[in-house]
Amino acid sequence: MRQDLRGGGEAALRLVRGGELRDSVDATAPGAWLDLDAGTRCWVGRDLLPTRDEVEGRRTWLGVLARRAEPTEARLALALCHHDGRVREAALRPATAYPDLLPLLVVRAADWAGPVRERARSLLRAALDPSAAVVLAPLILLVGRRDRGAFAVGLLAEVLRPAPLERLAPLFTAPDPAVRRFAYRLAIEQRLLSPAGLAGAAARDGDVVVQDLCADAALAAVPEESFDDVLGPLLGARSPRARSAGVTALRRAGRPEGAVAFLGDRSALVRACARYVVRRYGTDPAPLYRAWCAAPDDSALRPGHVIGLAECGNRADAGLLWPLLAHPAPGVRARAVAALRLLDVSDVRRLRPLIDDPGPGVVRETTVALLPSAERLPEEWLTERLRAERPRHARVAAFRLLEARGGVVGLRAAVALLDDSDDRLRTWAGQSVQGWRPSAEGRLGDPEVGELLDRGRRLFSDPVLRLRKREAGLGA
């Protein structure tokens, strides 16, 4: 758990100099309270405590805290973060009069000092109502990741468990996934959400844990006559996890024909679930894939059908895939290359022209397919594609393939890009030069290697450069 000690220390100094708590600490950021706690202690003995007496000892603090009329909200906030446990403990009860200090009570409930911790827990239990629990949930769950933080999390669940759905609603849209997970687990445990509501949550939420949690709960709770209310949101979800749950549920719903539409899904997980469903009802998906790929002009062909054929077909199906390298849709071409690689069918001569394909996805897949055969590609042909006027995806592909060859060829390509106008390519080339080693098959003592290393001299210290040259057989 990273903390901003500088920010926390600055917040503490603002409090010391008379600032209001609400102006000094961002109450909407749970981590700000932990930063204040740690930052305050970092400043103890420097500028934090406003008088010499307070710097030298705790007696002034304890005296102030004992006189109920004197402590201000700001001073209590500082006392609750004080390095001395007795000061922290003495500040706890006066702090309960200030609702804005409740977050620091949460922090102290996980204090490393037993007396402070126990007093804070007792006061927190008395002060935490459902309204405060919803507001403090992000901080409580953040503190819950610490040692001794489980108490506050348990108390949070205890307070919110009887709460109605309307009270939990703000937690379902919290930016922190941990808060949403907690809220949905509580809602599922208390059966506050309908199966349709859970399915909608699984379809909307971007967190895979929430997606799985809500989809599983929706499918477990849905009655047979209400499957449409659950399947609709799941099957239409953007998330592959939610869609795969919906596709798998088609089996329980007795609708295997619905799974056929997902055999060409963009997600491998969803395709696998769709194949499972249709197989359970006696249909082999491979002939369906072959039929789609055999009719490339058919608008029904999708990229997922192409890769799906490789996922359940065999090497003989390559005959259907090679023609798809010329398909007008870049997605189909890219998936055709990926499918051929998955079937372990490679032909450098036929794949090589795709390095110049206008589709970046096609070029990426082709590069991956050609990497094991990089030695068979002409160096001059690849080097020409490093030129600045070439499309970026072609330049990246050419450099990947040249770098994969290693030796002086890879070094030559990397040095050629050291002054490139493309920041990412230039950085990648520099890292390649720094990590270069002579290949086992390379000729030791090659003077060109020395010249190339000298051109990249700025990337090395003198001792490292000498070491690289010695490794290349170029003397001391």
Q: What is the mean pLDDT of residues 272-293?
A: 94
Region 305-316: mean pLDDT is 95
d(CA 40, CA 49): 10
Q: In whole angstroms, what is the distance from residue 24 CA to residue 226 CA? A: 52
Selected residue with higher pLDDT from 228 and 179? 179
Reading the block at residue 264, the tokens are 């060409």
Rounded CA separation 288/262 (Å): 12
Confidence band, pLDDT 50/70/90 cuts, at residue 142: very high
pLDDT band at 350 (very low <50, low <70, confident <90, very high): very high
Residue 26: pLDDT over 80: yes
Dmax (CA) of the chain:
89
Is the model's pLDDT at 357 over the cut of 90? yes
Q: How far is residue 219's CA from residue 213's CA, in Å, rounded to a whole number? A: 10
- pLDDT exceeds cutoff 50 at 52: no
Residue 132 has pLDDT above 50, yes or no: yes
Residues 167 and 204: beta-carbon distance below 8 Å:
no
Three-state DSSP class for residue 186: helix
Q: What is the pLDDT of residue 55?
A: 40
In percent, the amount of the chain with pLDDT more than 70 equals: 92
Residue 227 has pLDDT above 80, yes or no: yes
Please provide the distance, in angstroms rounded to a whole number, between the alpha carbons at the two ends of the chain.
48
Q: What is the mean pLDDT of residues 302-310?
A: 96
Report which of 17, 13, 54 is spatially closest to residue 36, judged by C-alpha positions. 13
**Identity of the residue numbered 57:** G
To the nearest whole number, what is the mean pLDDT of the chain?
89
User: Per residue in 449-469, is it b (16+ CB within 10 Å) or e — as a string?
Assistant: bbebbeebeebbeeeebeebb
Q: Which of 71-75, 113-117, 433-437, 463-467 has the lowest mean pLDDT?
A: 71-75
| Mean pLDDT lowest among 4-8, 287-291, 425-429 | 4-8
Q: Is the pLDDT of residue 287 over 50?
A: yes
pLDDT, tens only, 317-329: 999 999 999 999 9
Burial class (CB in 10 A: 0-12, 13-18, 19+), 185: middle
Query: Given this model, what pLDDT does residue 70 score?
Result: 60
Q: What is the pLDDT of residue 2?
A: 64
pLDDT value, residue 46: 45
For residue 34 the two structure tokens come to: 């932990």
Confidence category of residue 48, pLDDT binned at 50, 70, 90: very low
Residue 68 has pLDDT above 80, yes or no: no
Angle at alpha carbon of residue 168, lines to 163 and 4, rounded to 5°: 125
Give the pLDDT band of residue 45 (cuts 50, 70, 90): very low
User: Can you give the pLDDT at residue 188?
Assistant: 95
**Cβ 48 vs Cβ 16: under 8 Å:** yes
Residue 40 has pLDDT above 70, yes or no: yes
pLDDT at 51: 42
Rounded CA separation 339/347 (Å): 13
Average pLDDT for 339-367:
95
Q: Are 257 and 282 in contact (CB under 8 A)?
A: no
pLDDT class for 8, splitting at 50, 70, 90?
confident
Q: Of 56, 64, 144, nearest to 106 (Cα)? A: 144
Contact 436, 465 (CB under 8 A): no
Of 452, 374, 379, give the one whose Cα is nearest residue 416: 452
Quote the CA–CA distance of 146 and 298 in Å, as a whole number: 58
d(CA 416, CA 339): 34
At 98 the three-state DSSP class reads: coil
pLDDT in tens, 416-469: 999 999 999 999 999 999 999 888 777 788 888 999 999 999 999 999 999 998
Q: Identify which has the larger pLDDT, 308 or 53.
A: 308
Which run of H or of E encompasses 5? helix 5-16
Give the whole-angstrom CA distance, residue 5 versus residue 34.
Answer: 9
**Helix ranges, 17-129 (H):** 21-24, 30-43, 52-56, 59-66, 73-80, 85-95, 102-108, 114-127
Give, as one character, the DSSP assignment of residue 172: H
Tokens of 116: 């402070």
d(CA 209, CA 222): 20
189 pLDDT exceeds 80? yes
